[in-house]
Chain A
Amino acid sequence: AQSVTQLGSHVSVSEGALVLLRCNYSSSVPPYLFWYVQYPNQGLQLLLKYTSAATLVKGINGFEAEFKKSETSFHLTKPSAHMSDAAEYFCAVKIDTGRRALTFGSGTRLQVQP
């Protein structure tokens, strides 16, 4: 079975500070991993994805994530937070067998303080 755990349902940072959102997965086979962002009253938008190529993945809006197999982690980072980054972020995993659907974490709401 596959699952995704996001540590911290709420994260607050100051504008200009480092953003770190944590995601750990469990999977018995190599996974595909994704980060999605959801702005208020909107659908989910893809930030970045890992598909077994480079372990450091760069996404939109200055975000990146590093796949660490030994730690089963796929943490999302951004060097300098902007007010417009305030949103909810979801980590998701897809295994290429069976259901062919994404399994989502419970989400982390990012607040950016001025």
Chain B
Amino acid sequence: NAGVTQTPKFRVLKTGQSMTLLCAQDMNHEYMYWYRQDPGMGLRLIHYSVGEGTTAKGEVPDGYNVSRLKKQNFLLGLESAAPSQTSVYFCASRNPDTEAFFGQGTRLTVV
């Protein structure tokens, strides 16, 4: 049982490049989330989804887009990366009556 898997684990981007982070869960969870973690700021919610085909903005959505075409996958896109997007990104999933399960994180550096 893999749980929540994030791909890739590490990435270095140049300013202006684009990329997509993939989150896959095998627990048939309804809700999925993307957070970013920065020193001294905890985890901040970027976007989330409460079901296949739905997405919504979190606290810090600017510069990111998401899609949930399949229930098990939640993609986070950066169209034009900026140094301010250097961070560790975490995906999480849960059902309404369960706690959140987290992936191992993606460490992104934008130079």
Contacts and interface: CB of A to CB of B under 8 A. Distances in A.
Interface range for B: 20 to 34
B42 A101 contact: no
Contacts of A105: 42
B111 interface: no
B90 interface: yes
Contacts of B45: 99, 101-103
A56 interface: no
Q: Which 4 A-B pairs have the closest CB atoms?
A: A43-B102, A104-B42, A104-B43, A106-B42
Interface string A80-107: 0000000000100000000111111111
Interface string A42-70: 11111001000000000000000000000
A57 to B, nearest CB: 12
B77 interface: no
Interface range for A: 20 to 34
Interface of B: 4, 31, 33, 35, 40-45, 48, 50, 56, 58, 90, 92, 96, 99-100, 102-105
Contacts of A4: 42
A45 B40 contact: no
A9 interface: yes
Interface string A30-49: 00001010000111111001
Contacts of A34: 99
Nearest to B33: A101
Contact of B42 (A42, A45, A90): A90
Given A99-B56, A101-B58, A44 B42 contact: no
A46 B99 contact: yes
